[in-house]
Amino acid sequence: DTGVSQNPRHKITKRGQNVTFRCDPISEHNRLYWYRQTLGQGPEFLTYFQNEAQLEKSRLLSDRFSAERPKGSFSTLEIQRTEQGDSAMYLCASSKAALNTDTQYFGPGTRLTVL
Amino acid sequence: SQQGEEDPQALSIQEGENATMNCSYKTSINNLQWYRQNSGRGLVHLILIRSNEREKHSGRLRVTLDTSKKSSSLLITASRAADTASYFCATGVPTKAAGNKLTFGGGTRVLVKP
């Protein structure tokens, strides 16, 4: 049990709908990451927070995607006007900042299916 | 694009045998991490090796790192059916902006037959 939780675990939605996912990191971790994983591939980085500040966003994160971490604790990832290509597993990870040893602990993921 | 590439893409062995998988990467790194993922689930951290380390052990796992060849290997000794999973290497290049953004390879799918 890594301690990172994600909700919901599964989401099925119709194309064009908005969806929001939540990630609760390990409590003392100040860093939070979102990744996306499609079938048969490794995860790809989407965005990163240190405390409440969003410090980097991947080019994969189109303007339909927005992520927040308002109080530096839990984070939400919202996808607006979903497309079938958004179907994937969305993974959240957290870590405690440490020089050169930033081990990330992953949650179970939210599997999104866009019909 | 993915930084690391695992080899082989798939591996099938008998319980009790050793499993070896390799990872190659392209750019300089500060550390390399190996993760395991059971089907449809999140990733479990296995081991982190820093760029100034050459070998690391954890239980039945042995990881090597050769920064001159930009490659790493993961050895699982005395495999068990429960080791059946996908294994990913991930390289981390800490930057002020990106924390320790990980770049993953495509993974090696390991099947351990009882």
DSSP element (H, E) containing B82: none
Contact: A109, B106; criterion CB under 8 Å: no
pLDDT of residue B88: 95
Give the CA distances from residue A79 to residues A86, A90, A108, A112, B99, in Å, rounded to whole numbers and listed in that order: 9, 11, 19, 11, 24
Contact: A31, B40; criterion CB under 8 Å: no
Residue A9 neighbours by CB under 8 Å, 6+ apart:
A108, A109, A110, A111
**Chain A residue numbers touching B58 (CB-CB < 8 A):** none
pLDDT of residue B1: 42
pLDDT of residue A72: 86
Q: Which residues of chain B have pLDDT under 70?
A: 1-4, 94-98
pLDDT of residue A23: 98
Choose the mutation target among B9, B29, B43, B47 for the interface with A, i.e. most A CBs under 10 Å: B43
Whether the CB of B26 is below 8 Å from some CB of chain A: the reply is: no
Query: Residue B62, SS3?
Result: strand
Contact: B92, A102; criterion CB under 8 Å: yes
pLDDT of residue B95: 67
Tens of pLDDT, residue by residue, chain A (115 residues)? 459 999 999 999 999 999 999 999 999 899 999 999 998 899 999 999 999 999 888 888 889 999 999 988 999 999 999 999 999 999 999 998 765 567 889 999 999 999 9
Whether the CB of B59 is below 8 Å from some CB of chain A: the reply is: no
